Amino acid sequence: MASIEQAELEQRRGQIVADVKHLVERYRAIFDWDVPDIDQGLADGLILAEIRAALDEIQRTLAG
**pLDDT tens, the chain, 64 aa long:** 579 999 999 999 999 999 999 999 999 888 777 777 888 888 899 999 999 999 999 999 999 7
pLDDT of residue 3: 92
Check if the beta carbon of residue 22 is closer than 8 Å to that of residue 51.
no
Tell me how many domains the chain contains: 1
Q: What is the DSSP letter of 37?
A: T
Query: Quick one: pLDDT at residue 28?
Result: 87
Q: How far apart are CA 32 and CA 56, in angstroms?
A: 26
pTM, entire model: 0.78
Q: How far apart are the first and last CA of the chain?
A: 29
Tell me the residue range of the domain where 50 lies: 4-63
Q: Give the orientation angle of helix 4-34 with respect to helix 40-63, to 10 degrees.
A: 140
pLDDT (0 to 100) of residue 45: 93
